Structure 1
Amino acid sequence: MPQLSYKTFGEGEPLIILHGLFGSLDNWITLAKKFADNYKVYIVDQRNHGLSFHDDAWDYDLMAEDLCEFMSTEQLDKAHLIGHSMGGKTVMNFAVKYPEKVDKLIVADIGPKYYPVHHTTIIKALYSIDVNALSSRNEADEQMQKLISEFGVRQFLLKNLQRDGDSFRWKMNLDVIAKNIEEVGKALNQNATYAQPTLFIRGGKSDYIQDGDFNTIHSIFPKSKIETIAGAGHWLHAEKPAEFFQLVTEFLANE
Structure 2
Amino acid sequence: MILNYRQKKSTLPESKQSSEYIFIIHGLFGSLSNLSGLASELQELHHTISVDLRNHGNSPHDDSMTYHEMAADIFALADHLNIERFSIVGHSMGGKVAMACALLNPLRVNKIVVADIAPVTYPDKHNDVFVGLKTLTREPIKNRKEADLTLSTSITTPEVRQFLLKSLIKRGEHYNLLFNLAALSANYASIRAWPEFNNIFNQEALFIKGEDSDYIRPEYQPDILKYFPKAKAKMIKNTGHWLHAEKPKTFNRLVKAFFK
CA spacing shift, 1:96–1:221, aligned 2, 3 Å: same
Find the aligned partners of 1:190 and 1:43 in 2 and give their Cα distance.
Answer: 25
Find the aligned partners of 2:79 and 2:173 in 1 and give their Cα distance.
Answer: 39
| Aligned mate of 1:137, from 127, 139, 144 | 144
Contact 1:132 1:168 in 2 (8 A): no
Contact 1:23 1:49 in 2 (8 A): yes
Contact 2:136 2:147 in 1 (8 A): yes
Query: Residue 245 in 1 paired to residue 252 in 2?
Result: yes
1:210 CA displacement = 0.7
Contact 2:22 2:49 in 1 (8 A): yes
Match for 1:7: what amino acid? R
Matches of residues 114-125 of structure 1 in structure 2 within 5 Å? 114-125=121-132
Match for 2:131: what amino acid? K
Segments of 5+ residues of structure 2 without an aligned counterpart are 11-17
The equivalent residue for 2:100 is: 93
1:131 CA displacement = 6.4
Find the aligned partners of 2:24 and 2:93 in 1 and give their Cα distance.
Answer: 12
Match for 1:173: what amino acid? N
| RMSD of aligned alpha carbons | 1.3
Aligned length: 252
1:109 CA displacement = 0.4
SS at match of 1:7: strand
Find the aligned partners of 1:35 and 1:77 in 2 and give their Cα distance.
Answer: 19
SS at match of 2:133: helix
Find the aligned partners of 1:93 and 1:99 in 2 and give their Cα distance.
Answer: 9
1:219 CA displacement = 1.9
CA spacing shift, 1:198–1:188, aligned 2, 3 Å: farther
Find the aligned partners of 2:163 and 2:130 in 1 and give their Cα distance.
Answer: 13
Find the aligned partners of 1:192 and 1:209 in 2 and give their Cα distance.
Answer: 22
Segments of 5+ residues of structure 1 without an aligned counterpart are none
Find the aligned partners of 1:71 and 1:131 in 2 and give their Cα distance.
Answer: 38
Greater CA deviation, 16-25 or 213-222? 213-222
Contact 2:144 2:165 in 1 (8 A): yes
Contact 1:197 1:224 in 2 (8 A): yes
Q: Which runs of 4+ in 1 moved over 2 A?
A: 130-134
1:53 CA displacement = 0.4
TM-score by length of 1: 0.95
1:58 CA displacement = 1.2
Find the aligned partners of 1:48 and 1:134 in 2 and give their Cα distance.
Answer: 20
